[in-house]
Structure 1
């Protein structure tokens, strides 16, 4: 499953100012096909060269890859056995207390 492989490329440690949390070259190396790799490389070269991007035709190989990734991630998240409580009341209380703090002038 490429989705999970791509997710594993993200660094969970805090990022340093000016650095990316994922090595783009590692991400690009994970491209499952030569066609996808080539299209991404071409797009990256154009972006680095400062080329202006307006509305352009879809790059089908990239769109197909992204849609497959989205579908796999959606299926994966549906398979997770995770329950959470409705946070509405806690969020309402946080909102009210924030308003009281701001309106009372007691903000520190």
Structure 2
């Protein structure tokens, strides 16, 4: 979700740095992501509390999946995108330097 939002923001304004695009993209989608996660957790909570057996296990696992998915979408994905793009830029600069030598 964040990476798509970054791509859209880059297309709209190419003069801004990548870190600014990532910050703006996270800000734009953070509230929607958290609200979706909370709403789904509210629906799953009664299943985790009152159900038994496989349904209860499913609800608990789904809850952890939603929490970790929200965390990774809002915190890990933007950091990884920034890190990978910096590594690619560095590799491209090194290739250009090698070609000129």
Pairwise same-fold verdict (TM > 0.5): no
More helix by share: 2
Which structure is higher in RCO with an 8 Å CA cutoff and minimum separation 6? 2
Q: Normalising by structure 1, report the TM-score.
A: 0.28
